[in-house]
A and B are shown apart, each in its own frame.
Chain A
Amino acid sequence: MDPKSKYMDYAAPVVLFLILIAAWYAVIEIFSVPSFVLPSPTQILTDLIRYHEPILVAGWITLWRTLVGFALALIVGCVLGAIIGTSRLAHKSAFPLLVGFNAIPKSAFVPVLVVWFGMGSLPAVLMAFLLAFFPITVNVATGLATLEPELEDVLRSLGAHRMDILLKVGFPRSLPYLFAACKVAIALAFVGTVVSETVASDTGIGYLMMAASSSLRMAFVFAGLVVIGVMSMVMYLVFAILESRMTGWAQHHE
């Protein structure tokens, strides 16, 4: 890759971002949108700075709720994926149920979780878990189930046990699938936490946005959205870096 195109790679998203901001200003100017409907980027930035203290506190709460829910999803997803990916019977019996479960709108679960667990962190963590575990389960199962039968023959004829095959081949082989799932699932986990917080919490970014919107402070609401977006991007980046470190063998190189 020549240096010019590398420079382009870094500049392109910045340029696009600036174009979108400009368009935002243009829309507000042309249609004279009042700020309690659509605040300008400057107003959002001002509120971000003015309310940085409650936003940081709430952001931290939302982050750890999301990460705990995601960690649970990772554990359950890997175990469930390993079972479904290695056992035909488990696949046949559990997969249709999983697909059905995934189709249920998870926000409908929030009232149920509130009845069961009350307000606060637990429903938020569980919502993050519920949204995140499905893609992880499916991808781990796929990674394991697409193991080449010849390779399995080679290992079995060497006397390998099922556990050997899982540890030496299955797990490393499904790592790229797992990372792909993590990058999708972390965003879903944020969605789950924030949805739950808007209804069933008096802390967290979701609650903060709800409170701000009820007093028509739209710039504050948008500041909350920006914080969620940034946190999600950072987590995505973490997984992308881990992925290139741990599964470099699976990526295309020039």
Chain B
Amino acid sequence: MSVTQRKGTSLSRVGGPGPSRGPAPAGFDMSKRGNPLIQLESVWLKYPRGTGFAVEDISLEVADGEFIAIVGPSGCGKSTFMKLVSGLRPPTLGRVLLDGKELKGPAKMVGMAFQASTLLPWRTTLENVFLPFEIVEPFRRDYRRNQQLYRERARSLINAVGLDGFEDKLPRELSGGMQQRASLCRALVHEPRLLLLDEPFAALDAFTREELWCVLRDLWAAKKFTVVLVTHDLREAVFLADTVYVMSKRPGRVVRHDRIELAHPRDLDVTYTPAFAEIVHELRGYIGRIQNA
């Protein structure tokens, strides 16, 4: 499979589905977008009880402030990728660098959200959202003194995602979409530099999901953190991300990455344009081909 690269078009394509285990795929041109926040250098990971590698030879860089999405067939190691980047699992081979430093143990100042909202059912929305302040240093040290300030920050974020009026409700009193909003707030309240999202909208209905895309888009535009979004929804990936990475089925390998050149901020209407449809279609076709290969 030859490596083609079409710069300046809406879709640039790098790498192929074949077992390219050489150096990192060419075509990383992040110099314009600041220093890389995440660097993976030929990372391999094998679970202690697993047979074979869950992910193989992953090399990529994510610029500071970049929004990347990782798509691929189920069981391709997308969630493993999250564990690597968050430092919850050390790679078997290779290195994971965060902000230029090799990760040893869980990365601090990372926010995470999952398909299940994982809110604490005995805490109100507000109490759930300011949980990070009770745990993350340096907020934790001054928790008593700054509690009021933290509450205010949690409150303003809750307002920003449209949950005002639900601060004192328990999670079970919230709808699924509201729970995910609260979960996003909890992931972001301590202003982490990196937000890791593992299919956060997968369990929501289509309308709520698109609403939450916009919530995430606006938060990202306002705070400029870096996002790694794992999803199997190609429209979601293309709508939100700067770069979409495609992973092959197990063992997971990054077989392709596309820069999405649609201008920010993107309106939901963009998802109905031919350009958008073309990108999604192309990706869909590609994933179909590697799945059957």
Chain A contact residues, CB within 8 Å of chain B: 148, 150-151, 153-160, 164, 168-169, 172-173, 247, 249-250
Contacts and interface: CB of A to CB of B under 8 A. Distances in A.
- Interface of A, helix, strand, loop or mixed by DSSP: helix
A160 B122 contact: no
A152 to B, nearest CB: 9
B137 A157 contact: no
Contacts of A164: 135
Contacts, number: 62
A157 B120 contact: no
A159 B106 contact: yes
B179 to A, nearest CB: 13
Which interface class (under 10, 10 to 19, 20 to 34, 35 or more) fits B? Answer: 20 to 34
Given A150-B116, A156-B88, A249 B122 contact: yes
Contacts of A160: 135
A148 B121 contact: no
A173 B87 CA distance: 26
B134 interface: yes
B141 to A, nearest CB: 12
B116 A148 contact: yes
B131 A157 contact: no
Contacts of A250: 121-122
B114 A157 contact: no
Contacts of B125: none
Given A168-B131, A249-B172, A154 B106 contact: no
A151 B118 contact: yes
Interface of B: 83, 86-88, 106-108, 110-114, 116, 118, 120-122, 131-132, 134-137, 170, 172, 186-187, 190, 196, 198
Contacts of A249: 121-122, 170, 172
Contacts of A158: 108, 110, 132, 135-136, 190
A183 B232 CA distance: 46
A159 B114 contact: no
B127 to A, nearest CB: 11
A169 B107 contact: no
Contacts of B137: 159
Given A148-B116, A156-B88, A247-B122, 4 more contacts: A150-B116, A157-B107, A157-B196, A159-B135
15 contacts: A150-B118, A150-B198, A151-B118, A151-B120, A154-B118, A154-B187, A157-B86, A157-B106, A157-B111, A157-B112, A158-B110, A168-B134, A247-B122, A249-B121, A250-B121
A153 B230 CA distance: 16
Contact of A157 (B87, B121, B122): B87
A156 B89 CA distance: 11
